[in-house]
């Protein structure tokens, strides 16, 4: 059994909150509540994301030294540092995707903390409810849950960044719906959206990986708002999304196409910080006999080639 202390990186720039955290960790050692609560924690504090990033890099270099290891977890105050909130989380997650992150949020920022959970954080703790036992359980469970999820990602049906279905999950679920279409004479709409980042001559220098991740998450949230409850949403690859929805009539399917086209074009200008990224959009009316995989392949080729024209198969701009 490995009895070494857990190493925790804490991004916090408020001295009062640092004091509250230290009080909670001290109580963990004093109160022999359980083996979970009594675990030993080595804390390393960072004032901002740049300092945290440097500490993460340093920890990787020190792994070979006796008694040293990478961080076991990160506690991130969503209101600390610059950048803060989601940009800070995405930067840390991209640097050490294998290290679990627990968000710490005051009540006014609870929605932001929960949004981090949707993007991959393991938990969100409310600052006003901070206590040693909930903190200990959250950290330990987050670490164990993350260890399990690392193995499950290999067979996952969902996308880590957005929480939507990935390509594998999308094909599995649309295969299920194909039986409904054939059995009950339903109709379906398949919409594809491809995000095209700016070219070299279009301020591409500011469009880095973090900017792309932020835009991807915002686009996923916009697609959720456009979708209906029974729709299937997926991120097929780094820059392509898909939406699959069932309707009872052909007229209903055509109306959904018009609604999706209007809504997707609105998203082009509605996403904050979009810059010069563009959305290429294609919708497809699906009949009784279809192969979603074949449609996806041909449609994605057309999106990549920018050859979006209406054709006999039912593709629309």
Same domain, 115 and 150: yes
Is the pLDDT confidence value at 15 over 50?
Answer: yes
Single out the residue in 107, 124, 155 at which a domain terminates.
155
What integer pLDDT is reported at residue 63 of this predicted model?
60
Is the pLDDT confidence value at 264 over 90?
Answer: no
pLDDT band at 315 (very low <50, low <70, confident <90, very high): very low
The CATH number of the domain holding residue 193 is 3.30.70.270
Same domain, 129 and 264: no
Is the pLDDT confidence value at 134 over 80?
Answer: yes
What integer pLDDT is reported at residue 316 of this predicted model?
36
What integer pLDDT is reported at residue 296 of this predicted model?
76
Q: Which two tokens stand for residue 305?
A: 């080639």
Model pLDDT for residues 45-86, shown as the tens digit of each residue:
999 888 998 898 888 766 655 444 578 999 999 887 677 788
Measured distance CA(134)–CA(116) in Å, rounded: 19
What is the mean pLDDT of the segment spanning 27-33?
70
Same domain, 108 and 244: no
Does some domain include residue 161?
A: no
What integer pLDDT is reported at residue 317 of this predicted model?
34
What integer pLDDT is reported at residue 288 of this predicted model?
58
The CATH number of the domain holding residue 99 is 3.40.50.2300
Model pLDDT for residues 205-228, shown as the tens digit of each residue:
555 667 778 888 888 988 898 888
Domain count, the chain: 2
Single out the residue in 90, 121, 155 at which a domain terminates.
155
Single out the residue in 155, 180, 214 at which a domain terminates.
155
Of residues 57 and 153, the one with the higher pLDDT is 57
Is the pLDDT confidence value at 309 over 60?
Answer: no
C-alpha distances in angstroms, 39 versus 14, 35, 124?
25, 6, 20
Same domain, 172 and 132: no
What is the mean pLDDT of the segment spanning 293-314?
56
pTM: 0.53
Same domain, 141 and 13: yes
What HEC string does 232-294 produce?
EEEEEECCEEEEEEEECCHHHHHHHHHHHHHHHHHHHHHCCCCCCCEEEEEEEEECCCCCHHH
Domain hosting 264: range is 167-316
Of residues 192 and 152, the one with the higher pLDDT is 192
Could you write out the DSSP letters of every residue in 132-189? HHHHHHHHHHHHHHHHHHHHHGGG-SB-TTT-SB-HHHHHHHHHHHHHHHHHHT-EEE
Same domain, 147 and 200: no
Candidate ranges 43-52, 197-206, 275-284, 300-309; pick with highest mean pLDDT: 43-52
What integer pLDDT is reported at residue 96 of this predicted model?
85
Backbone angles phi, psi at 30, to 5 degrees: -80, -35
What is the mean pLDDT of the segment spanning 116-144?
89
């Amino acid at each position: 059994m490995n009895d070494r202390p857990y190493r925790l990186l804490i991004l916090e720039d408020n001295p009062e909150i640092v004091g509250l955290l230290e009080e909670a960790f001290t109580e963990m050692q004093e109160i022999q509540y359980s083996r979970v609560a009594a675990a030993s924690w080595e804390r390393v504090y960072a004032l901002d994301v740049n300092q945290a990033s440097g500490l993460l890099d340093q920890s990787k270099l020190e792994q070979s030294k006796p008694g040293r290891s990478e961080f076991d977890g990160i506690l991130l105050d969503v209101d600390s540092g610059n950048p803060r909130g989601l940009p800070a989380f995405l930067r840390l997650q991209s640097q050490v995707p294998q290290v679990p992150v627990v968000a710490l949020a005051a009540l006014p920022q609870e929605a932001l903390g929960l949004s981090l959970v949707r993007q991959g954080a393991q938990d969100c703790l409310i600052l006003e409810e901070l206590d040693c036992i909930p903190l200990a359980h959250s950290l330990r469970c987050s670490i164990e849950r993350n260890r399990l999820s690392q193995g499950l990602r290999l067979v996952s049906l969902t996308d880590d960044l957005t929480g939507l279905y990935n390509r594998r999950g999308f094909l599995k679920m649309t295969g299920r719906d194909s039986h409904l279409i054939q059995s009950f004479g339903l109709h379906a709409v398949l919409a594809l959206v491809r995000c095209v980042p700016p070219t070299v001559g279009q301020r591409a220098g500011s469009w880095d990986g973090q900017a792309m991740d932020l835009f991807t998450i915002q686009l996923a949230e916009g697609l959720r708002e456009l979708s209906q409850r029974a729709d299937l949403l997926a991120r097929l690859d780094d820059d392509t999304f898909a939406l699959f929805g069932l309707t009872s009539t052909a007229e209903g399917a055509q109306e959904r196409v018009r609604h999706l086209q209007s809504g997707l074009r609105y998203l082009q200008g509605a996403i904050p910080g979009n810059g010069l990224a563009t959305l290429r959009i294609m919708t497809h009316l699906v009949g009784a006999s279809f192969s979603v995989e074949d449609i996806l392949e041909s449609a994605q080729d057309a999106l990549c080639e920018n050859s979006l024209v209406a054709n006999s198969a039912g593709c629309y701009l």
